[in-house]
Structures are given as C-alpha cells and as structure tokens.
C-alpha cells in the first residue's frame, strides 16, 4: 500500500466532458459514466504536456495524476478553459494505492466494492488505474489501513514502476517528448474523435512517419546502480540517458528507464557511463516483467 503518491483533480460542471473532449487525446465523450481511460495532454505543436487517467462521470471528470504534479495539471488544463462552464477542484480526501495482482482481492476482503472502472459511494472512491502492466487500485477516503497490505516506500515503488514500464511525467517523459516515443498512443489516443490539441503531429507520425527514440528498459549487467542522468552508449555514440533507476528484486539487477535511439533495438548490449564510472547493460522492451 502506498500513500501520498497520487491526487485527483475534478473537472466539474455541465461543460466538463465537452471541455476535455476538445483538448485531450482520449475520446472522453465516448466513455460511459464509470469508465476509466488513459489520456495525454499535448501542447499545440504535439509535444507532451501531461499524462493522466480520466474517471468519467455524468457532470464531472476526475483526473488522476501525481500529487506533486496536480497543480501543474490544473494550470495546464486551465490555460484552455475559455468561456466554459466547468470548475476545478482538487480532491481533499487521503488517497492510497494498492499495487499488484492481488489488489482487487485485497480490497474486496476489506468489504470494499471493486468496480470495473471507478465508483464513488458513501464517501469512498475506488478506481482501477493500472500502472503500465501492473494492476493498481486507487482509493480516496479510506478511513483506516487495509488488512492484507504492506506499506511500500518510494524506493521500492520506483523499482516496481520501472519493471512495469510506467514512465513518470516530468521524470521520464516531458515537454520534449513526442507521444509515439512513449508507447502510450494505442492506449491513450483516439484517431476517430475529431480535433484536439496537438492532433496534427500525432496523426502525421501515425500515417507516414516514425520517431527517433523509444522508451526502453535498461538492465545493468553488474551490481552497480548508476545515477540518474547516466548516459547510455552504443559503441562510440551516446543513444540515451537514464531517467529512473532502481534495484529490481524481480529482475535481480539494477534497472532503469531511458528514451533510446530507435536504431538500438531490444537485446542490444550497451555501456552506461557517468562521471567516475561505467557498467555494461542491455536494452529491453517494456515491461521488464510480466505481472
């Protein structure tokens, strides 16, 4: 169980759905009340501004984002709120997360109903919002610790996040990132909904282009944890930079995430270098483990 990692920003009002429909990549209007879907927010030229889960309601939509990013997310959305009947409200309830294949069973064993998407009943919100390939349930308003859970800190959470191939906005991907570099387009982008911010670049790459980088896992071949910012080299060429690093108990090696040049395919052997050290490593497709 993880506390304090996520936040929910509510977009509330009669124009909540139509407002988001016009700016995010997901087809919010096609979602039913109670549905959950991943989405991107792009800047007009198509680069990434934000990424989050959407909780579709009747006259409100929840935006599940990181606690440290929720104000940034609100500001990014508010920039486009012009003559719109919708307001923003950050959920004040304490939020906990359960990660792993047994999350649903654990929640149910604590007499909490687990919806297919999300529900907010009797003051408690429960939502299924996977973290990459990792099952994850977010609960807002739990009044006590849940039986059958183990508290997990940031270091362990980072390792599991890397294993699951879940990039963190502002860490692994940012406003220099093109959506197709992230591997999230199939899940987060609608190509049938109509216009939204940044649509032109996404559509152009989808129909007749390619990107120069892809989000990859990097598994270090010796028991040394490189620092964030360590450079990934293939031969004499720098092909990427480690943005998240941790010791993986599942992979039994130090692991990291990096946007790696597309010509360096999964399975390629590379060298990770930093000031004062280097280590052999292998580039992998994500996720690094199957949950």
pLDDT tens column, 99-110? 999 999 999 999
Report how far residue 144's alpha carbon sits from residue 110's, in angstroms, rounded to the nearest whole number.
Answer: 10
Report how far residue 165's alpha carbon sits from residue 259's, in angstroms, rounded to the nearest whole number.
Answer: 12
164 within domain boundaries? no
pLDDT at 7 over 70: yes
Q: Which domain holds residue 232?
A: 212-291
274 within domain boundaries? yes
Q: Is the dihedral of CA 89, 128, 68, 96 positive or negative?
A: positive
278 within domain boundaries? yes
CATH number of the domain that 14 lies in?
3.30.1360.120
Q: Are residues 139 and 261 in the same domain?
A: no
Q: Are residues 139 and 22 in the same domain?
A: yes
Q: Are residues 6 and 102 in the same domain?
A: yes
Q: Are residues 27 and 101 in the same domain?
A: yes
**How far lies 24's CA from each of 39, 50, 191, 268, in Å?**
7, 10, 12, 35
**Residues near 290 by Cβ (< 8 Å), separated by ≥ 6?**
133
Query: For residue range 167-214, what is the model confidence (pLDDT) as tens digits?
Result: 999 999 999 999 999 999 999 999 999 899 999 999 999 888 889 999
Q: Are residues 25 and 117 in the same domain?
A: yes
Q: Are residues 9 and 130 in the same domain?
A: yes
78 within domain boundaries? yes
Q: Are residues 21 and 99 in the same domain?
A: yes
- Residue that terminates a domain, selected from 146, 164, 190: 146
26 within domain boundaries? yes
Q: Are residues 12 and 92 in the same domain?
A: yes
The mean per-residue pLDDT over the stretch 9-38 comes to 98
**Judging by beta carbons within 10 Å of its beta carbon (0-12, 13-18, 19+), is residue 161 exposed, middle or buried?**
buried
- Residue that terminates a domain, selected from 146, 178, 197: 146
Q: Pick the residue with more confidence: 111 or 20?
A: 20
6 within domain boundaries? yes
119 within domain boundaries? yes
- Residue that terminates a domain, selected from 109, 129, 146: 146
168 within domain boundaries? no
Whether the pTM exceeds 0.85: the reply is yes
Q: Which of 80, 90, 93, 92 is nearest to 15 (CA)?
A: 80
Q: Are residues 135 and 252 in the same domain?
A: no
Number of domains the chain is built from: 2
Q: Are residues 41 and 117 in the same domain?
A: yes
CATH number of the domain that 278 lies in?
2.40.30.110
**Partners of 259 in beta bridges:** 215
Query: For residue range 71-103, what is the model confidence (pLDDT) as tens digits?
Result: 999 999 999 999 999 999 999 999 999 999 999
8 Å CB contact between 228 and 196: no
Query: For residue range 105-161, what is the model confidence (pLDDT) as tens digits?
Result: 999 999 999 999 999 988 899 999 999 889 999 999 987 788 988 888 889 999 999
Q: Are residues 137 and 216 in the same domain?
A: no
What one-character-per-residue DSSP string does the chain give? -EESSEEEEEEESTTHHHHHHTTBSS-GGGSPTT-EEEEEEE-TTS-EEEEEEEEE-SSEEEEEEETTTHHHHHHHHHTT-SS---EEEE--S-EEEEESTTHHHHHHHTT----SSEEEETTEEEEE--BTTB-EEEEES--SPPTT-----HHHHHHHHHHHT---BTTTB-TT--HHHHT-HHHH--SSS---TTHHHHHHHHHH---SEEEEEEEESSS--PPTTPEEEETTEEEEEEEEEEEETTTTEEEEEEEEETTS-TT-EEEEEETTEEEEEEEEPSPSS--
Residue 290 pLDDT grade (very low, low, confident, very high; cuts 50, 70, 90): low
Q: Are residues 111 and 15 in the same domain?
A: yes
């Amino acid at each position: 169980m993880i506390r304090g990692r996520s936040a929910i920003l509510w977009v509330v009002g009669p124009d909540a759905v139509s407002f988001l429909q016009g700016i995010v990549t997901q087809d919010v209007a096609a979602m039913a009340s109670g549905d959950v879907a991943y989405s991107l927010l792009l800047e007009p030229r198509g680069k990434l501004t934000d990424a989050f889960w959407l909780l579709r309601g009747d006259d409100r939509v929840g935006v599940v984002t990181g606690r440290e990013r929720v104000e940034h997310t609100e500001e990014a959305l508010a920039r486009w709120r012009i003559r719109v009947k919708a307001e923003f409200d950050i959920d004040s309830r304490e939020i906990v997360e359960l990660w792993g294949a047994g999350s649903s069973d654990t929640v149910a064993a604590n007499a909490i109903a687990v919806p297919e998407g999300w529900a907010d009943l009797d003051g408690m919100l429960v939502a299924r919002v996977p973290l990459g390939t990792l099952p994850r349930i977010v609960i807002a308003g739990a009044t006590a610790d849940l039986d059958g859970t183990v508290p997990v800190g940031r270091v362990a959470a980072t390792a599991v996040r890397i294993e699951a191939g879940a990039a963190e906005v502002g860490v692994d991907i940012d406003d220099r990132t093109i959506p197709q570099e992230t591997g999230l387009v199939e899940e987060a982008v609608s190509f049938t909904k109509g216009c939204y911010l940044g649509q032109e670049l996404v559509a152009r790459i989808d129909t007749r282009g390619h990107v120069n980088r892809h989000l990859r896992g990097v598994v270090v071949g010796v028991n040394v944890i490189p620092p964030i910012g360590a450079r990934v080299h293939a031969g004499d060429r720098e092909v990427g930079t480690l943005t998240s690093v941790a010791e993986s108990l599942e992979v039994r090696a130090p692991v990291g995430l990096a946007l790696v040049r597309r010509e360096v395919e999964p399975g390629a052997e590379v060298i990770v270098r930093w000031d004062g050290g280097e280590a052999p490593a292998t580039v992998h497709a994500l996720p690094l483990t199957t949950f």
